[in-house]
Structure 1
């Protein structure tokens, strides 16, 4: 479990490619390496990965086929940086919102608007079905960053970023056309799905009652 508060960025220093499989190695800063052990969970651009090897400050992670398919980690090249968050501990301050590290889709950056001390970025999800979970002022995690949704249109949404977020994360260097990882707020998802099921059940009852009225002599 994570909080969506990115603790820093790390450079990808090596990538080992195999068929539908990738191992990438990042170099963690001293502050994030302390106490880290193999088997621990670390979020890369919001995607929960497991530590497989530690050599000094260099840490290895394996990415399987599904991870490469559903996230932007397959786009990463040596020299790129990723957002990093260590797994949350009981008693930690939750400054963002609870994040599982399970990426549900990616989104393309389709517009960037920059003004003094502010930046607005618009995204188009690869899976437009997920737009029903993206609500005005709702929570969303973008590349592991807990953010508040700004405006929402039929197939796009935006967030507003302060200078601190642009400095501390990779979003400050993002360009048009690049992909980001999206994790929907699970509470929002659960509420929307529940409402949909209730409405479908009520509609089915209405249809059944209407059909019964038609067949009665």
Structure 2
């Protein structure tokens, strides 16, 4: 479980393809000094397992299904990624509950300057996810907990403030880029509960 508050950015320093899987070696800008093998870490919002680590880097592996459903397959050596370690019980949740299970990929359709150097960004929305995205609701984008501004069945908008641009990979976004999307899990639970109630009736 994660909060959607990016701890630091990392850079892909090595990439190997092993039996159809991709093994990434990632060097975080702020060193993680408490990693152990088996830890969960969100890489662009995708929950992956630490398999090896050193003082300066760690390794994770993405299986073919993960590569198919996320933007990790587009990463190359030198790519920057958002990183967040899993939550601990004594830590504030500044964003919202994020599982690290990406629901789909959206494409950046438009980037416009907003007030105070913020960006107003329009992102395409897979049809199957549109019912879970609501104005002023939470959404996970490349592992970032972001508030939705406007939503339609085909797209939604968000704002990236200057601070977010400075401490995450949003500063390198451009129109046409693909972004990992995780919708708020609470909407899924409500849907399932209401579905059970309707069936019982």
- The TM-score range, normalised by the shorter chain, is over 0.9
Residue segments in structure 1 that go unaligned for 5+ positions in a row = 206-217
Q: Does 1:69 align with 2:64?
A: no
Q: How much has 1:198 moved relative to structure 2?
A: 4.4
1:172, 1:143 → 2: CA distance? 13
* 1:101-136 Cα distance to aligned partner (Å, 9 max, x none): 1111111111111134211111113x3111100011
Q: Contact (CA 8 Å) 1:12, 1:77: kept in 2 or not? A: yes
Q: 1:89 maps to which residue?
A: 88
**Contact 1:133–1:192 (CA<8 Å) still a contact in 2?**
no
- Three-state SS of the structure 2 residue aligned to 1:33 is coil
Seen in structure 2, the aligned counterparts of structure 1 residues 123 and 196 have a Cα distance that, compared at 3 Å, is farther
How does the TM-score come out when normalised to structure 2? 0.94
Structure 2 unaligned spans of 5+: none
- 1:169 is matched with 168
Indicate the structure with greater helix content: 1
Aligned to 1:112: 111
1:171 CA drift (Å): 1.2
Alpha-carbon separation, structure 2, partners of 1:166 and 1:196: 40
Bigger CA drift: 113-122 or 164-173?
Answer: 113-122
Mapped contact 1:32–1:86 kept (Cα < 8 A): no
Q: Which residue of 1 aligns with 2:142?
A: 143
Q: Residue by residue, what CA displacement relative to the aligned partner does 1:169-211 show, whole Å, maximum 9, x if unpaired?
A: 1112111111111111111222234345545x48xx7xxxxxx
Q: How does the TM-score come out when normalised to structure 1?
A: 0.87
Instruction: Show the counterpart of 1:123.
Output: 123
Pair 1:91–1:56, CA change in 2 (3 A): closer
In 2, the alpha carbon distance for the partners of 1:50 and 1:32 equals 17
Counterparts of 2:91 and 2:180, CA distance in 1: 24
My pick for the range that moved more, 37-46 or 111-120, is: 111-120
Alignment of 1:1-217 (within 5 A): 1-29=1-29, 31-115=30-114, 116-125=116-125, 127-196=126-195, 198=197, 201=199
Tell me the matched-pair count: 200
